[in-house]
Amino acid sequence: MALSSGILALSIIGVLVAGIVTVVATIAIYLCAKVAVQMYLQKEDKQDGHRDAWLGNGAAAGSTPRATDDAEDVEMGSMSFFIEGVQNERPVRFSSQQLRGFTQGFAHKLGSGGFGVVYRGRFPNGTPVAVKVLNSTLGRRAEEQFMAEALVYEYMENGSLDRHLFGTPAPEGRAIGFEKLQEIAVGTAKAVRYLHEECQHRIIHYDIKPENVLLGADMAPKVSDFGLAKLCDREDTHLTITGARGTPGYAAPELWMPLPVTHKCDVYSYGMLLFEMLGRRRNLELGLHSRESQEWYPRWVWHRFEAGEMDAVLARAMAAGDLDATEKAARMCKVALWCVQYRPEERPSMGNVVRMLEGEEQIAAPGNPFAHLAAYSAGVTLSDDTTTDSYGSSAFTGK
């Protein structure tokens, strides 16, 4: 009798253990399958080469989906499905036929740039959009980088920042006050910070400039045009790229040299953007008779800063009033000088930039970001030893 009871107990224990093992195995299989699906979807997204446009506050502003052939078109089901996809930051594909319908046959041209023409369009639910059709004459490398035929953006009724900085006369006859300009500068910095520090994969934009900062109804900035953008893992500190990128005048020096590139190239471009916001002019204006306008504005600002003669810089920045914003203008000037440092490691991260602009972080006196220009003009090149020493002198801990 005792033996039978022992066998019965062992049988019960065996059944319980088998049940537990089965449950654990089922959970393990489920988790492995879930991870595998996620990895597959991430791989597909990277191969599709989708790029999003980002709000100034760091949130997604819409999608820059790839146009596909009719045979490859993804069934959307309804416009509500599309809106839900945009809100959830999922890229949405359109066929060329849909794009022609949205733009009424590409009838209303908004403008054009080096890579394509922008048309105004409207979704069936009435949402206005801008559709950028890329030039068919682009080279093979550029085509591979874009991985797209057309980009769809949210339509921004106040246009791009360059219209307000350099337009003559300013839109609606009034210039943006400095307080609003400072808000736009901070919002743009937060957008680039989002790309560098908050996305699952770091995104390097490569083309930060006034034309790519779009302004909504309330003048809130959104960074657009990710045609040159590149995804990279955060662990990758340096990237090797083929061919020059960016726009002359905004592109960091390392983009024009056979040197490794980091996300700090966007910081440099952002610094050049800050100079133009401070001066309300192009950094280099050719063909004008004014001696000041023919001088490279960033270096002119450095000379004023070095000599302690910042009144002229601040007066130009606050030309539209806002006389109480002197401290913010001086802060913006020092941040711009830090952002355009020649050595990438000496430039702050965009997180540092946001904190400095908002007054949450002290700003040390920047060094001369244009010392290399004097060295080159004197026939002197900087050695690798000099580079190493300069890198080690960075005032910022942000990467």
Closest CA to 255 of 246, 28, 52, 383: 246
**31 DSSP assignment:** H
CB 131 within 8 A of CB 150: yes
Peptide bond into 169 cis (omega under 30): yes
Pairs from 284-289 (Cβ < 8 Å, separation ≥ 24): 284/249
Q: How far apart are CA 261 and CA 196, in angstroms?
A: 14
The residue behind tokens 């711009």 is 336
Assigned token pair, 295: 């001088």
Identify any residues that bridge with 131 across adjacent strands, giving them in sequence order. Answer: 119, 152
Q: How far apart are CA 27 and CA 19, in angstroms?
A: 12
Q: Quickly count: other Cβ atoms within 10 Å of residue 256's Cβ.
A: 12
The answer for residues whose C-beta is within 8 angstroms of residue 71's C-beta and 6 or more apart is: none
Q: Dihedral of CA 208/210/214/219: which sign?
A: positive
**Ordered alpha helix ranges (H), the chain:** 2-48, 79-87, 96-102, 140-146, 161-166, 178-193, 264-279, 291-294, 297-306, 311-317, 326-339, 350-357, 371-377, 384-391
Instruction: Answer yes or no: 207 catalytic.
Output: yes
Q: How far apart are CA 325 and CA 253, in angstroms?
A: 32
Beta pairing class for 54-55 and 94-95: unpaired
Q: How far apart are CA 325 and CA 130, in angstroms?
A: 35
Q: How far apart are CA 273 and CA 249, in angstroms?
A: 10
Q: Residue 164: phi, psi to the nearest 5?
A: -85, -25
Q: Quickly count: other Cβ atoms within 10 Å of residue 74's Cβ.
A: 11
Q: Residue 81: phi, psi to the nearest 5?
A: -65, -40
Q: Which residue among 52, 207, 225, 322 is the active-site one? A: 207
Catalytic residues: 207
